[in-house]
Each structure stands twice: as C-alpha cells, then as structure tokens.
Amino acid sequence: MSSETRQTLTLYRALKSCGGEAELAKALDVSIESLSRWLTGHEAPSVKVYMAALSLVAARRIKTR
C-alpha cells in the first residue's frame, strides 16, 4: 500500500470482510481496475463508494459481536 489514508484503510478492511478483490469489486459495483487504483492510493474512491465500503466494514463488525 503506497498511501495509507482513511479511504485505503477502510477499503482494505472491506477487502478482508469480502474475501478478495473480485468479491469487493462486485459488492461495491465497481471494476477491479478501479478498486486496485484505490487500494494502492493512486486514486481516491468517490464518496458513494467510500460510504459503501464503510457499510461493509460496519456490517462485519456487527456480525462478529
């Protein structure tokens, strides 16, 4: 990860929650290429995608309690 931002950290947590890049891209309704650029910090996701990733992370936390 070349740039640790709140967005990239959240995306990595969502990635772990979903089980892989393909699964996360599908859950966020984005291309794997876009997801890869966000995960590496080369681009930032839109607010909509970031909020969706936050929702995935929050849902995982609720399930594990």
Which band of pLDDT confidence, cut at 50, 70 and 90, is reported for residue 62?
Answer: confident
Domain boundaries in the chain? 6-63
Model pLDDT for residues 1-42, shown as the tens digit of each residue? 457 899 999 999 999 999 999 999 999 999 999 999 999 999
Quote the longest CA-to-CA distance of the chain. Answer: 34
* Three-state secondary structure call for residue 10: helix
The pTM assigned to this predicted structure is 0.86
* DSSP, residue by residue, the chain: -----HHHHHHHHHHHHHTSHHHHHHHHT--HHHHHHHHTTSSPPPHHHHHHHHHHHHHHHHHT-
